[in-house]
Amino acid sequence: MQPVLFQLGPLTVRYYGLMYVTALLLAIALLRYDAKRYALSPELMVDLAFYTFIAGIVGGRLYYVILRWDYYGANLWKILAIWEGGMAIHGGLIGGIIGICWFARVIKIPALRLADMVVPMVSLGHAFGRFGNFMNGDAHGYPLRSQWLPEWLRHFPGWMGVTFPLWSPAGRQFPNQPLHPVMLYELVLNLCGFCLLWGVRKRPLLANTPGRLLGLYLIYYAAVRSFTSLFRADDLYLGPFRMPHVISVVMALIGLFLLCRRRRIPAA
């Protein structure tokens, strides 16, 4: 386990960055494949994926930096060091939605329709990102028998624990202790989310009302993150509350609204 895949002179290829690039390329390929169903140009999907990706990266980083300003305020040069980790998915979602709304306005297409196209790829890309977290040793969990875990989560078998290297954030916080590889739990759950969203995207109940697939994603990921945050040792907090739990409640409510709305928007 190491963050660097290989190094050639000044060129360093890190798993974390490679996962983002891989996710972007897969998103472009899948969006181009699905474009005809929405009567959109496949070439337009490259721009959609790129702008959504950039907006998501900026949003994810800003969100994390703002909530960890106690650290970044004293280490301003670290703000740009995204290869070390420090991305927040909820900020990425906010940034990505802003990017989609801007792009939708430019090309004069309903933003909810574009969001429905993108969310399966968001779930898939998030899974790739969690592998990058694993190789970095960040976004880590508590020790298997930690007192900070709820009682019903302290009975996992020992073989499930991962002892992270001492150079990693997980290894520094919990040296030589087997931890919950919570990033791998979320990787699997996000892959399941992609399969769910991709599999139901053509169902009339979802496809005929733009925004419903987005709503399903918001509810699904709110449930996933609420669960995995019970294992997380490095979650951001808002007062006494875990920030992911606070945001997940908001996401679930928005998702329910989008799923229950009856308004139909014309296809053209």
Q: Which domain, by its residues, includes 195?
A: 10-140+180-260
Task: Compute how many other C-beta atoms are within 10 angstroms of the C-beta atom of residue 71.
Answer: 10
Task: Say which DSSP state 232 is in.
Answer: B
Q: What element of type H or E holds 234? A: none
Give tens-digit pLDDT for 164-205: 999 999 999 999 999 999 999 999 999 999 999 999 999 998
Residue 170 lies in a domain: no
Give a yes or no: residue 174 inside a domain.
no
Q: Does residue 89 fall inside a structural domain?
A: yes
Number of domains in the chain: 1
Burial 217-239 (b: 16+ CB within 10 A, else e): bbbbbbbbbbebbbbbbebbeee
CA atoms of 187 and 126, how far apart (whole Å): 7
Q: pTM of the entire structure? A: 0.90
Report which of 24, 94, 17 is spatially closest to residue 56, judged by C-alpha positions. 94
Predicted confidence (pLDDT) per residue in 43-84, tens digit: 999 999 999 999 999 999 998 898 888 888 888 888 888 777
DSSP-H helix ranges across 35-158: 42-67, 69-72, 89-107, 111-136
Bridge partners for 241 per DSSP:
238
Q: Is residue 93 part of a domain?
A: yes
For residue 18, the model assigns a pLDDT of 92
**Banded model confidence at residue 268, pLDDT cuts 50, 70, 90:** very low
| Residue owning tokens 């020790």 | 143
Q: Which two tokens stand for residue 177?
A: 């202790």
